[in-house]
Structure 1
Amino acid sequence: MLSMKVLFAHLGREHLGVEYLSAALKRQGHETALALDPGLFGINDNVFHNARLERRFDQTRRVLRALEEQRPDLAAFTVYTSTFPWALRMAREFKRRSPRTPIVFGGLHPTFEPERTLRCRDADFIIRGEGEGALCDLAHALEHGTDPREIPNLGFRADDDSPALNPLRPLIGNLDDLPFPDKGLFERDINFRDDYIVLCSRGCPHRCSYCCENALHRLHGPGWYRRRSAESVLLELEEMKARYRFREVMFNDPILLTHRGWLEELLEGYRRRIRVPFRCFGQPALMTDAMALLLKHSGCQCVEFGMQTVNEDLKRETLGRPETNEQALNAFRICDRHGLPFDIDHMFGLPGECAADHARALDFYKPLRRLNRIKTHQLVYFPGTAITAEAAE
């Protein structure tokens, strides 16, 4: 049986999407490898951006050397808008060294800027939306020398050199059908013992105007938000705990606290079978005394809430966030009352904000006893989001 060697080139930290793609390819009998640039001190480093240090720790040569030495049959890039220039540069250099090797771009930027991505000519194919099926189909077509241009979700340049986009395939209905993410792809570069990242769902039930999840929901429709079974999540954590002996878990779902019955099943099993501290994302309107106690007794050491602004009109009308300051304050006081630490996300650069809004936010946050840290973010107008479309009008 033939098999393809697919090399993932990635800028940034561990990426669950890449791990799921790798696992899907391996299930089909293909080989995968990783060329990673951690992007130290670059614009995607959430800790510290410094241009001089970024140049000092540049990993371009390492990535290109891996692309050359691995001699892949297909090179795959997962691309955000912020990493798009890097991906173009790497793809261009790799094409110069290995002109016969096809290159595919997937991820959020090709999904929402497909024609523009193809017009750059550095990728032979793009994949829009959920990628496992399309990437496996592409590898199969290239492996057997068949025409890949009918593959759903695939984009390419037509015979007249114009961008051509195939329709999207149905979403994966049951996430339990997916193999567990291929953590081995990143284990040379990531210390999983300190922190294990797991994903229980795809999508988000909320429609924040600035978030890619809103854009993906509009692209795929109401079926975009799906959850794995609690047992599937627990089986993954058991297997990976035996392998990596991790000491902490990060539930990376946009909001873990939805669907109380499912959460109770998950955390009851987590207390018995996993027994390590964890962190998660929450939503102020969903926090109750019972929820705080459930989280704390299950090992939660921090919940991260998206506050973004205390200007309620701006939050509701511009960000698409209906919760009130009273609801948020109630959630934070519940955490204070039960000794549950929490983080708050706060945004800068919102249209219509003023300095007084941030001063009010500081006064709002000061009395909170269990507030661990305030994580600040700058609003970015990503392609495909509602706030970007509104700004363009």
Structure 2
Amino acid sequence: MKIVFAYKGRYWVRDTRTLEILSAMAKAAGHETCLAYDPDLFGVSDNVLSLPRLNRLLFNPEAAVRKAAASGADWVVLLENLTNRSWLENFIKTLSSSAFKGKTTVISYRGEASYRGLASIELLGEPERGFGEFLKALKGAVPEIIKAEGLADLDGLPLPDLDLFSPYENFSLSYMAYAGKGCSGACSYCEEPFYRQAYGAGYARLRRPARVAEELSLVKKRFKTREITFKDSVFTADKAWLREFLPFYKAAVGLPFKCFGRPDAFDAETAAMLKEAGCYCVEFGLQTFNKKLRSAVLKRPESLEAVKKAFAACGAAGLPYDADYIFGLPGETEADHLEAALEFSRLKGLNRIKCHNLVYYKGLGITDYALKEGLADENALSGGDFFSGDRSAPAMRPANAAFCRLFKLYGLLGSAVTGFAANSGLWRAFRFIPGPLLKPLELLSGLLRGDRRFLVYLRAYPARIFFNTGSRPAVFSGGNRAFLHKTMAVILSVLAALALAELGLRLAGPGPRRFNDSMRYYSNPRGYYEPVAVDGVRTVYGLHYNMTKEGFRLPDGVAGWSAVRDVRPAEILLLGDSFTFGRGVRYSDTYAARLEKILASRRPAWRVRNAGAVGLNVGEIGRVYAHEASGRKYKLAIYGFVLNDFGLEVEGGRAGSDFIDQNNAAPAARGLRAYSALLDLFFRAADRRRLTRQTVKAYQEAFLGPGAEAKYAVLRRLNARVKADGGKLVIMVFPLIYNFSDYPFREIHASLLAFCGREGIACLDLLPAFSRYRDRDLWAAPTDQHPNEIAHRLAAESLAEFLDANSLGPQRLSPERI
């Protein structure tokens, strides 16, 4: 039979080694095997260059499915892990809708079947055990569920079938080795304790030293491999095993190698043995210097004293070491990162600080902790990988971005500059290093340190990008003229990085041409919008808005105000601009509609009239009220105030970005910018920063400058008019949905609240409610920072609570009356 293994993701993880062993088992049983592979180059799982947008532009996500469908295989085998269920389901569904005539098998880590009706067969238990039972069952009728008990004999398994991935990976540059499986630790953020619990006691185990050495000597002979990376979570845990293995390794293999160590299983003897055997770097899981976080939250088994002793042992042995550091930990503070920077600056022999982002995977201890403490949303778990995404608290993001960049450039800066940046406050400036520049600098940092991993990346990536094979590029082959080679490597790496960036930008094409009308978009976030037009080959998305002749929003399908009036008039009049109008959201999702729905359950039920219109300023709001209140009486006039209602006067006469409508077309590139997409990107970023500074200044002038009193006087007159009509004015302040972690307009909000307090105007500030979210999570679209349906819901709920707290609206029904 023919068996196809399907996989998506980077190669350097245990899953790929597992598939290589399963392929070897299948071949040993007389079956033919092949691979349907999506390397996810630049994708979420790419730990070197994670650029998902470029990945989507360059690669077809269905290519692996098509290969599997066209293979003529009898079986397609997929291996489940903590993050790939969605991909597995989509792969199987797409494959099933093709002309594929074979069957599908999912190897699941779960204790019970969860793919019924989707996969043909489901294998439960440790993959090698389950797949072994599956191969036996192929001789007859294969049951839908195969549950294998116990653990595989690692030494009895065949050596991995390297033909499976060798067309995609260059094993001559580096080889990924596993001496065993699992880890005895119980770290809350790591997958190893999860798998140990899933597969049972004894999961953490090692192969015989001779068997590991046999595998590596064969690899060296076949591929002329230059270095080895042991990917075991804790390679140094068993010192007796090391004492036996390292002499085998040095005699039979003798290649430079890197490994992972755990500080409580590491001492001066271990460092000396590793160095003697050819180890060029040890990577330790530090994660944080905060003792409480390490023990109470991360469940790290060792003390900080043990960590420092392990680092010192490496330093004394002349053995370089890397330290893993995690951002986004629950309860982390700026002081933690500052302490870490100072500690790193004092270390001897530190090679690299590897920065990761915390990931909440379902089933992990830290995920349970975060859900219990309300720090994570269950619907957003397992999003991304540990080097992509940002799950930190909004208030910590500026500091995290700054320290992450500082730590990534440690190899370039050295301990002295790192310490100076921490002590002087210069670390804050690192936040502004643009992402496209950071990667070349990080690569340069590694090359200057002589880090073999970066040399592997430099040599492997061009082949992966341009050829998608493991063939070795010839650029860096040669003799031993180290200085010349290092210089060439540095120059060429920077040029290659710049060229790749330029290529990526050109392939991506110019950014989407922006509409001057922000009611339409080229993208459809959340699947919320409807196709409303076609621009060339692009679909244009948007909504159909129903309006009165005055520009006020109407419910969908209603012809005019008379159709929405009841015999009883509305008690609440909403005033405002496009935020109140509801630009970017359906009518039913506007805060006006949501508020009326909430108040409908009160007694008496109050009606709401929405008199918000696009583009109104504070002066025009007063005129709208005067018109709407003529002949009518409203109990409440609620003004949805947006900071740009006071008007902006930007230096130089340019409107600039007001942090709301970014659909204004950008100026055409001129000069050298017209010939380089990368250069144009840099100058556009510089222009944006300059306009941002000008616009922030303009907002501050509008509210705090000499002309502010005249604008506040307009609000004072509006309040007097509402009072004279027997009503009550409520001002609800919308924050600009921009950078809540370092919001530049807090002083303006405070000024508005103080004014309302002096004037006796009820005032609700929505900033606390909105700032619990990331700014982009509340945008209508990537180019439109009007509030989306989530923001409108927050506004309606906050407003209803505010009215209740201040006895301004109808009363809630008591439970016995509901």
Using the size of structure 1 for normalisation, the TM-score is 0.88
Which stretch has the larger CA shift, 370-379 or 96-105?
96-105
Which stretch has the larger CA shift, 11-20 or 92-101?
92-101
Q: Is the 8 A contact 1:24 1:179 kept in 2?
A: yes
The structural deviation recorded for 1:16 is 0.6
Which residue is equivalent to 1:5? 2
Residues 1:53 and 2:54 are matched in the alignment: yes
Which residue is equivalent to 1:200? 179
Which residue is equivalent to 1:343? 322
| 1:68-83 mapped onto 2 (5 Å cutoff) | 68-83=69-84
The structural deviation recorded for 1:150 is 5.8
Q: Secondary structure of the residue that 1:224 maps to in structure 2?
A: coil
The structural deviation recorded for 1:138 is 2.5
C-alpha separation between the residues in 2 aligned to 1:339 and 1:311? 27
Q: Is the 8 A contact 1:202 1:226 kept in 2?
A: yes
Q: Is the 8 A contact 1:306 1:344 kept in 2?
A: yes
Q: Secondary structure of the residue that 2:115 maps to in structure 1?
A: helix
* AA at the equivalent of 2:143: P
The structural deviation recorded for 1:114 is 5.5
Q: Is the 8 A contact 2:80 2:109 kept in 1?
A: no
Larger radius of gyration between Structure 1 and Structure 2: 2
C-alpha separation between the residues in 2 aligned to 1:114 and 1:50? 36
Deviations along 1:298-345, whole A, 9 cap, x unmatched? 000000000011111111111111312221112112211221111111
Which residue is equivalent to 2:231? 252
The structural deviation recorded for 1:89 is 2.1
Which residue is equivalent to 1:152? 147
C-alpha separation between the residues in 2 aligned to 1:147 and 1:78? 18
Which residue is equivalent to 1:171? 151
5+ residue gaps, structure 1, are: 154-168
Which residue is equivalent to 1:104? 105
The structural deviation recorded for 1:209 is 1.3
* AA at the equivalent of 1:289: A
* AA at the equivalent of 2:56: R
Residues 1:88 and 2:89 are matched in the alignment: yes
C-alpha separation between the residues in 2 aligned to 1:373 and 1:59? 35
Q: Is the 8 A contact 1:112 1:383 kept in 2?
A: no
Q: Secondary structure of the residue that 1:347 maps to in structure 2?
A: strand
Q: Secondary structure of the residue that 1:151 maps to in structure 2?
A: strand
- Say which of 216, 225, 234 aligns to 2:204: 225
| 1:214-293 mapped onto 2 (5 Å cutoff) | 214-293=193-272
Which residue is equivalent to 1:158? none
CA 182–147 in structure 1, closer or farther in 2 if over 3 Å, else same: closer
Q: Is the 8 A contact 1:95 1:101 kept in 2?
A: no
User: How many positions carry a matched residue from both structures?
Assistant: 368
Q: Is the 8 A contact 2:69 2:100 kept in 1?
A: no
Q: Is the 8 A contact 1:310 1:357 kept in 2?
A: yes
* AA at the equivalent of 2:226: R
Alignment RMSD, CA only? 1.9
Q: Secondary structure of the residue that 2:163 maps to in structure 1?
A: helix
Q: Which has the higher helix share?
A: 2
Q: Is the 8 A contact 1:114 1:126 kept in 2?
A: no
* AA at the equivalent of 2:84: T
The structural deviation recorded for 1:13 is 2.5
C-alpha separation between the residues in 1 aligned to 2:199 and 2:78? 22
Q: Is the 8 A contact 1:127 1:134 kept in 2?
A: yes
5+ residue gaps, structure 2, are: 373-818
Residues 1:136 and 2:152 are matched in the alignment: no
Q: Secondary structure of the residue that 1:35 maps to in structure 2?
A: strand
The structural deviation recorded for 1:77 is 1.5
C-alpha separation between the residues in 1 aligned to 2:78 and 2:269? 43
CA 83–220 in structure 1, closer or farther in 2 if over 3 Å, else same: closer
The structural deviation recorded for 1:390 is 3.3
Which residue is equivalent to 2:446? none
Q: Is the 8 A contact 2:121 2:145 kept in 1?
A: no
Residues 1:355 and 2:362 are matched in the alignment: no
C-alpha separation between the residues in 2 aligned to 1:7 and 1:131? 16
C-alpha separation between the residues in 1 aligned to 2:307 and 2:129? 40
Deviations along 1:360-390, whole A, 9 cap, x unmatched? 1111111223211111111112122222233
C-alpha separation between the residues in 2 aligned to 1:185 and 1:273? 25
Which residue is equivalent to 2:288? 309
The structural deviation recorded for 1:139 is 4.0
C-alpha separation between the residues in 1 aligned to 2:145 and 2:302? 44
Which residue is equivalent to 2:305? 326
Deviations along 1:114-146, whole A, 9 cap, x unmatched? 66x526x432333333112322333443x4441
Q: Is the 8 A contact 1:105 1:127 kept in 2?
A: yes
The structural deviation recorded for 1:261 is 1.6
- Say which of 118, 121, 126 aligns to 1:125: 121
C-alpha separation between the residues in 2 aligned to 1:99 and 1:5? 13
Q: Is the 8 A contact 1:112 1:384 kept in 2?
A: no
Q: Is the 8 A contact 2:9 2:45 kept in 1?
A: yes
Which residue is equivalent to 2:574? none
Q: Secondary structure of the residue that 1:340 maps to in structure 2?
A: coil
* AA at the equivalent of 1:197: M
C-alpha separation between the residues in 2 aligned to 1:389 and 1:278? 36
- Say which of 191, 202, 205 aligns to 1:212: 191
Q: Secondary structure of the residue that 1:304 maps to in structure 2?
A: strand
Which stretch has the larger CA shift, 202-211 or 132-141?
132-141
Which residue is equivalent to 1:162? none
* AA at the equivalent of 1:137: E
- With CA pairs under 8 Å and 6+ residues apart, which has the higher RCO, 1 or 2? 1
Using the size of structure 2 for normalisation, the TM-score is 0.43
C-alpha separation between the residues in 2 aligned to 1:268 and 1:346? 32
C-alpha separation between the residues in 1 aligned to 2:307 and 2:157? 36
Deviations along 1:184-236, whole A, 9 cap, x unmatched? 11111100001111111111121111211101222233211111000000111
Deviations along 1:255-293, whole A, 9 cap, x unmatched? 111221210111111111111100000011222111111
CA 223–81 in structure 1, closer or farther in 2 if over 3 Å, else same: closer
Deviations along 1:11-55, whole A, 9 cap, x unmatched? 123211111111111121111100111101111111122232111
Which stretch has the larger CA shift, 128-137 or 10-19?
128-137
